[in-house]
Amino acid sequence: MKNLSANQIENLISYYNASAYASTNEITEVANEIFEVGDELSEVEVEIQSQIEQKLIGYEYIECENQGSFHRHIWHKTT
């Protein structure tokens, strides 16, 4: 798996009021871009999610919500 830059991770996150969101479609798209031979796509997606979590200090993960045509991860600010 190729490394993601801090900017690439930040681009996956959107903010609204005291919440942060990351679309599973966008995570999968980036995972496909950095996927290398021998990688498991699901493992790459989990690693991206982990990097997003590390970026969201002060936020608590709530759920992966079904938005109809896509799913999104939701975090709420705790501090």
Is the per-residue pLDDT at 10 higher than 80? yes
- The number of beta carbons lying within 10 Å of the beta carbon of residue 71 is 15
What whole-number distance in Å separates Cα of residue 19 and Cα of residue 29?
22
Residue of 13, 4, 10 lying closest to 73 (CA atoms): 13
- In this prediction the pTM is 0.88
User: What is the per-residue pLDDT for 49?
Assistant: 94
> 13: which 2 tokens?
């996150």
Give dist(CA 37, CA 51) in Å, integer. 21
Please write the tens of the pLDDT for every residue from 13-62: 999 999 999 999 999 999 998 888 888 989 999 999 999 999 999 999 99
In this prediction, residue 65 has a pLDDT band, given cuts at 50, 70 and 90, of: very high
